[in-house]
Amino acid sequence: MKARWLSVSKKKVKISDLKKSFITLKYFYSIIFRKFKSYIVFNLIAAVMRSVYPLFIVFLPKLLIDEFQSGRNIKRMVIITLVFVIAYIMVMAIDSFCTQTYQKKVDEFTRYFEMQHKQKCAEMDFDLTEDPKILDLASKAQNGLDWYGGVDGFMTQFTNMVSGFLSILSTGAVLFTGSVWVILISITVLVLNFLITNKSKSIVRKQNEDTAILDRKLNYNFWQSYDFKYGKDIRLYDASDMLINNCNEVADEFIDVVRVGNNKIAGLSGISSIINTVNSVGMYGILGLMAINKLITIGNFTMYASAASQFTNGMMSTIGSLQNLFMVSTYLYNYVDFMGIKTDSAFGNDLIDKNGKHTIEFKDVWFKYPRTDKYVLQGVNIKINSGEKLSIVGLNGAGKTTFIKLLCRLYKVDKGEILIDGKNINSYDFDEYEYLFSVVFQDFKLFAFSIKENVSISENPNDERVQNLCEKVGLGDKIASLDKGIETSLFRQFDKEGIEPSGGEQQKMSIARALYKDSPIVILDEPTAALDPVAEYEIYRQFNGFVESKTAIYISHRLSSCRFCDRIAVFSGNNIAEYGTHDELVSIENGIYSKMWKAQAQYYA
């Protein structure tokens, strides 16, 4: 099963920061506009209001000074001041209202993108969950949501850029009526500052890349000492000194990388300060000469000086926001890239007949895992009738679990086909198809939730049914001993009163989970491999009683389930080497199954 990416991510050439920003902006703006339109509206109104602030600073002193120099009409000066103050308060009130309103939406849409990422991780094609590149991209996508303000930080930088640009237009228009030279000096200084800031950002980005692996190493060593799962090994092998030394070594290397980068940035900041000082001297020098030569009034001098300052601030704000936009987009672009992974479109929309009997057939099935050239299964043919009990045996690595993964459509076959009720399994809608199977894998997982939630995996569990199934699989006494019964939490990550179930108890809960789903086809894929053969046989025997008329597939490298199954498939050499009943296979002289049975028969006598 191969992923299809957004076309941009397939290009071998490096995508520019500008293009990444455009793609990222388009992606998030389109989603936010559809689902959180008020965020954009209020954010842009706030940006427009903020661009008005510089005009108060530019025009109020000029009008007051001109009035003071001419008529000195106190009443007129008071009226001018009141008008500006009232206008300023109104602009500030609108800005404040819009800012507070869109901030209320921030958590909502931030959570939305977080949940979309988690849902993508949970629902993308299973083979991708074992691809290191995809796992790395998923991690980078999460970092994009976490770093530098995430989506809100990215959108805010764009809004600040809009606000700064509007400020540039208004203050630039004022300057243009006075002295173009002031504008040219400001632009020259800003270009130099842009280059310096861009260099600083490059240093920061390189610093982040250099420290990324160090940060992972530091976190790994730290969390191993913190994770109580390793508590016994740390104590018995006195590993604490090693972990602490590793932390110190990595931390020292981390500090060295940061120090070198910070020294470079400090030098660039010093150069920027000198340039800004020269800018101020040049700007005030030109305006001062114009005032001395009576080319402008003192009021105009103040207006142009303020306009030049606000013009510079607007340019710096815009450029800074643009650079930050580029930087944040390099992280958020990974989110866009990750979310662009497509599910294989070969799957169809056919529905399962939920009231019918279901026949399974493998026809000349060949399969090799992604990123490998070795076939795990070669030319497998088998038919499993509805209600049949099949035992699949073979040594470790014979392809037994792979057989089940293909049947459950976690992978696609490379050659041949798998049929359910005579139709290729890929023709069925996946949600319909997964209804067919209740599976307990060897590496089953329980969550740090309640027993009830672990068994039901449901938003609206049936308490009575959960209780009955727990009693059926042999957990009745255990649950009766718990104060909260099936409401008891597993493990103690979030509940100090949670329990730590034994391996056998966890296996029984996973079996109860499979029974709760009540699918027509049930599969046990060596979930009892850690148990002794007798205990394993007892669990298989009890489970076989639970499934009644359902189709059942039992997988083991031991022979616990063979005596009560209708057929046995022996996997060896990437294929089904032997197939038949227990009596048929055990009678094959020097057969694989016969040898296995003779070696293990003592456990099942």
Say how far apart CA 399 and CA 374 lie, in whole Å. 12
Judgement on whether residues 42 and 128 belong to the same structural domain of the protein: yes
- Each residue's pLDDT tens digit, 219-247: 776 666 655 556 666 666 667 777 777 77
The whole model's pTM is what? 0.65
CATH number at residue 566: 3.40.50.300
Domain that residue 34 falls in: 7-339
Same domain, 135 and 260: yes
Question: What is the per-residue pLDDT for 418?
Answer: 95
Assigned domain for 560 exists: yes
Match 């020269």 to its residue by tokens: 278
Are 166 and 285 part of one and the same domain? yes
What is the predicted pLDDT for the residue at 453?
A: 92
Is residue 371, in this structure, part of any structural domain at all?
Answer: yes
In-domain check, residue 471: no
Residue 454 lies in a domain: no
The single-letter DSSP state of residue 344 is P
Q: What is the pLDDT of residues 327-356, one digit of tens each?
A: 788 888 889 999 988 766 567 788 888 887
User: Percentage of the chain with pLDDT > 90?
Assistant: 19
Residue 517 lies in a domain: no
Q: What's the number of domains the chain is made of?
A: 2
CA 77, CA 68: separation in Å to the nearest integer?
8
Verify that 123 and 251 share a domain, yes or no.
Answer: yes
* 322 plus 387 within the same structural domain: no
Name the domain boundary from 291, 308, 339: 339
Q: Are residues 159 and 227 in the same domain?
A: yes
If asked whether residues 249 and 311 sit together in one domain, one would say yes
DSSP at 520: S
Query: What's the pLDDT score for residue 17?
Result: 67
Does 251 share its domain with 379? no
Are 155 and 13 found together in one domain? Answer: yes
Long-range contacts of the stretch 178-182 (C-beta < 8 A, 24+): 178/287, 178/290, 178/296, 178/300, 178/303, 178/304, 178/307, 179/286, 179/287, 179/290, 179/304, 181/286, 182/283, 182/286, 182/287, 182/304, 182/308
DSSP 9: G
Within a domain: 53: yes
Q: Please say which residue of 310, 339, 368 terminates a domain.
A: 339
Instruction: Return the pLDDT at 528.
Output: 64
> Burial letters for 56-78: b for 16+ Cβ neighbours within 10 Å, e otherwise?
bbbbbbbbbbbbeeeeeeeeebe
Q: Is residue 345 part of a domain?
A: no
Asked if residue 203 and residue 276 are part of one domain, the reply reads yes
**What CATH number does the domain containing 260 carry?**
1.20.1560.10
335 and 404 fall within a common domain: no
Order the strands of the 423-424 sheet from edge to edge.
375-384, 360-368, 415-420, 423-424
Q: What is the pLDDT of residue 344?
A: 67
206 and 295, same domain (yes or no)? yes
The 3-state DSSP class for residue 346 equals: coil
Whether 531 is in a domain gets the answer yes
User: 289 pLDDT exceeds 70?
Assistant: yes
pLDDT in tens, 10-57: 444 456 667 888 888 889 888 888 888 888 888 888 888 888 888 888
pLDDT of residue 9: 40
